[in-house]
Chain A
């Protein structure tokens, strides 16, 4: 069954605003990752946060992880048109070789 569910499914904001996407999952995880997929392209890894971490930053990206709520959020600050893409969370679970991807949030940045 699907592990990650992103929320919202779609998000449109003005350039320069911040974008927040959420991911909820069901079972204990080893780590949680966020990926970006531009239209017609493959997925690109953005950031990985381990189960013992609560927050991580990378440039304009900020990821939080709340294992008690089984949720994570991805914040993109000062959005740009080039941030328009689908964003997926993926969970790595203990005792399992694979990553399980969520349903994705389609982000549109309006110039």
Chain B
């Protein structure tokens, strides 16, 4: 069945470092792809999305490109901040619902 695999955490970086969180997917057809973020004490919220191959989603300095040939949707940010510390979930849609990966916890040190 459809699934998402993302790198295990926790990932610990210093402020201003470059971030990559890997995500690959298995799906029939061409799903939309998402990154959701869960900040401490808050609910899940959409960070960015891409609905077709080669689309790039971007928000708050984060980017991810929908790569059909490698079935990937890696999350990147050029310079992370302490406020980016959170759990990040890669996800895809199957029909009307979202299927999530297990999440990657990110710690940013000042």
The answer to whether A and B come from one shared complex is no
Residues of chain A at the chain B interface (Cβ within 8 Å): none
Residues of chain B at the chain A interface (Cβ within 8 Å): none
